[in-house]
Amino acid sequence: MGQAPAPPSEAVALLTGHTGGTTAIQLLSDRRGSRAWKIQGPKGTDALKANNPDGDDARGKAAEMAQEDDHLLRLTAAGALSPDYRVSPGSWEGGRWLAVNWVDGAPLWRALALARGPEGDRAAVRPWLTGIARTWTEHLARLHAVGWAHADV
């Protein structure tokens, strides 16, 4: 097996100042033309996303990164996101990157895995699933309140 792709050095240098140094870098995803890493330091953790420069659609993914950054700026201006969420965007030799503050949690698909299994429809599980759904919809409602809809939902 080969070595995991490294994040853009320009982004890591900037995030080192934000996180107080880099203590760990973990590749989270490498699919559909983009890569994501978790960057940890003593003062905090960030998520970093960059287009894959070796992908067939590298230029298109770099444009998507710029669009995603624009959306974050507009959502922040509308009050749907905290101004502290977006850390920084940037360019690198392979295209574009975008860094945001890390938010602990599980992807919704993974959080609801129990509900898809044979044990998911038990009285003891229902309050837990309801709590996940409530939290998720409360956050989604903030986006909807300012006129946004998430394409994956």
**What total of structural domains would you count in the chain?**
2
Which structural domain range is residue 115 located in?
105-153
Task: Looking at the structure, tell me whether residues 74 and 149 fall in a common domain.
Answer: no
Task: Looking at the structure, tell me whether residues 114 and 83 fall in a common domain.
Answer: no
Parallel, antiparallel, or unpaired for β 86-92 and 95-101? Answer: antiparallel
How far from the centroid of its chain's Cα atoms is residue 105's Cα? 11
Task: Looking at the structure, tell me whether residues 58 and 80 fall in a common domain.
Answer: yes
Task: Looking at the structure, tell me whether residues 28 and 80 fall in a common domain.
Answer: yes
| pLDDT in 10s for each residue of the chain, 153 residues | 578 889 999 999 999 989 999 999 999 988 888 899 999 999 999 999 998 877 776 668 888 888 999 989 988 998 888 999 999 999 988 889 999 999 988 777 888 888 888 887 888 888 888 888 888 888 888 888 888 776 665
Task: Looking at the structure, tell me whether residues 91 and 118 fall in a common domain.
Answer: no
Task: Looking at the structure, tell me whether residues 110 and 97 fall in a common domain.
Answer: no
Q: To the nearest 10°, report the CA torsion of 13, 64, 148, 103.
A: -30
